[in-house]
Amino acid sequence: MITLYGMGSPNVVKVFIALEELGLPYTVAPVDVFTGKQFDADFLKLNPNAKVPVIVDSEGPGGSYTCFESGAILLYLADKTGTLLPSDKAAKFDAIQWLMTQMSTVGPMFGQFVHFLRFAPAGNDYSKSRYYTQTWRVCEVIEQRLGATEYLAGAEYSMADIATYPWMRAIPAILGAETMARLPNISRWVKQIDERPAVKKALAEVDAVRARTTAFDKAEAVTLDKVFGRGQFAAV
Ligand SMILES: N[C@@H](CCC(=O)N[C@@H](CS)C(=O)NCC(=O)O)C(=O)O
């Protein structure tokens, strides 16, 4: 049995989708990030980096196995089941390249843009402009790729798509409703993934865990300072 530690953020959504696609039995252990539960000693034993998602697989290599970092979790699950990464070696590494692009660029650029948009004090125009530009640039890279291939790795739906979809489906909310009209290939691909039964089921599970955890706009100021490493928590 797999236990998924998380809440409703895009990095956790990836793991919900992968587990549903693979039909693996799992239970959810909500981690209330916006009340600071990721800093509890018990959670730090699972991930010393104090971030969700984490999975604990009671039937892992050598017994119970703990895995953190969403990209590592997706690779772990692909390895465990022998699915959602192409078996052809070139296609497999194409999938891994796009998965790494999500981990290194899509997630961090969107994440920083959302941070400066929602949480920064007024007067951070440089940061907003930098992360808007980088976010838009990586959308164009994904747009171009999906103009050339059906899925990110090529012909096959893979962990690369699962990793990237949670941010791409949020483009209208983050970059503006009109933006999708400028990204027809991403729109086509998001709609295709929206229709997958496992994705619908995963998103229902995400709604359920959101209902059990605190939304960012209900967080106390001191917790936000700790999560974002600012105020009394800033390194000096
Ligand atoms: N690269 C990590 C990022 C994980 C991450 O940033 N998780 C956020 C939620 S999306 C979190 O736990 N934040 C709490 C904190 O930073 O204190 C992954 O993909 O798993």
Query: With 0-12 CB in 10 A as exposed, 13-18 as middle and 19+ as buried, what is 177?
Result: exposed
CATH of the domain at 137: 1.20.1050.10
Residue 45, both tokens: 């034993």
Residue 14 shares a structural domain with residue 46: yes
From CA 26, how far away is CA 209, in angstroms rounded? 13
The reply to whether ligand 1 has any atom less than 6 angstroms from the CB of 213 is no
Residue 54 shares a structural domain with residue 23: yes
CATH of the domain at 44: 3.40.30.10
With the most atoms of ligand 1 within 8 angstroms of its CB, the residue from 52, 109, 162 to mutate is 52
Residue 126 shares a structural domain with residue 94: yes
Residue 209 shares a structural domain with residue 176: no
Residue 98 shares a structural domain with residue 42: no
Please state the pTM of the whole predicted model: 0.97
The residues, ordered by sequence, that sit 6+ positions from 203 with a Cβ below 8 Å of its Cβ are 13, 16
Ligand 1 centre to CA of 12 (Å) is 9
Residue 180 shares a structural domain with residue 101: yes
Residue 125 shares a structural domain with residue 43: no
Per-residue pLDDT at 132: 96
Residue 66 shares a structural domain with residue 50: yes
Closest to 105 (Cα-Cα) out of 95, 94, 93, 97: 97
Residue 73 shares a structural domain with residue 95: no
Number of domains in the chain: 2
Residue 112 shares a structural domain with residue 154: yes
pLDDT string in tens for the chain (236-residue length): 999 999 999 999 999 999 999 999 999 999 999 999 999 999 999 999 999 999 999 999 999 999 999 999 999 999 999 999 999 999 999 999 999 999 999 999 999 999 999 999 888 899 999 999 999 999 999 999 999 999 999 999 999 999 999 999 999 999 999 999 999 999 999 999 999 999 999 999 999 999 999 999 999 999 999 999 999 999 98
Residue 115 shares a structural domain with residue 185: yes
Residue 16 shares a structural domain with residue 69: yes
Could you report how far apart the first and last alpha carbons of the chain are, in Å?
43
The reply to whether ligand 1 has any atom less than 6 angstroms from the CB of 187 is no
Closest to 145 (Cα-Cα) out of 107, 191, 95: 95
Ligand 1 centre to CA of 51 (Å) is 4
Per-residue pLDDT at 123: 86
| Domain of residue 114, residue span | 89-195
Ligand 1 centre to CA of 33 (Å) is 9
The reply to whether ligand 1 has any atom less than 6 angstroms from the CB of 47 is no
